[in-house]
Structure 1
């Protein structure tokens, strides 16, 4: 099990990942739909975003990594290089992640975040803000098992649900 950046050879695995969301978590499938339309373009966009190239308005450089095991994509994690805008500093945080619906509750979220923290450190992030919906106990557990220190629950401007904010020391 390792974190990878998407490459053309991962297209079929990505499509299975997307279909899993489409079938079992359609509310969040849209985040990955662009990859089904033109995978090569999607991979390039993610690479550009990591380098700060062609960023959309209010976006910051962001490294996208994927948890893979034996050719199966189990999750995606995004490490924002900084959180110097209102949304990210309040609601979005440095790190956001998703586990494929059929791979949830198997420890993959904890493993993926553990693997991502040294990457965040290498990007210059000493202490990462990681958020979760207040009622998302599974995500909160992932954060806490990775050393997340609870700060407070807030109401954001973009997402209507209460959001739990945590800080995690990034380690090598």
Structure 2
């Protein structure tokens, strides 16, 4: 959906929550990031700390595989904000389980539906020699449960200084806008 397709009756709420011209701001932010060959195309495994540090304030959507310190696959997930997800994983599960990452960034909006991303995850698992049973393990369930709580982990990381000042301000502004939109003070 673009700003132009927002129904007229919803325009006021849309502009309040996202600001007028939010699409232009989003496009400018999205186009400002240049996908890095190897690191963002799913071919290289990179230390999580290095990957996150090199992409501060970038909202990148895609799929990622996380490896532990021994190089064993721990989890394959997808996110609309990989940097925040990885920070949350590290904060909740520790550096030992979240040592390195392989990431495929998607720039096309058509790739960002949950169904497409879930399909891509299944393809990655198959490519990495895992079958459907990998997604049924208690370890995978722990990562999935943690992923559902990544917002809370990101907030905890912010308390510990993991998020930048800009990220904290943006997160707080979104939270306040949403509360106002829901009729809370």
Return the TM-score normalized by structure 1: 0.33
Higher helix share goes to which structure? 2
Q: Which has the larger radius of gyration?
A: 2
**Of Structure 1 and Structure 2, which has the larger fraction of its residues in strand?**
1
Q: What TM-score do the two structures reach when normalised by structure 2?
A: 0.31
- Name the structure, 1 or 2, with higher relative contact order (CA <8 Å, separation 6+): 2
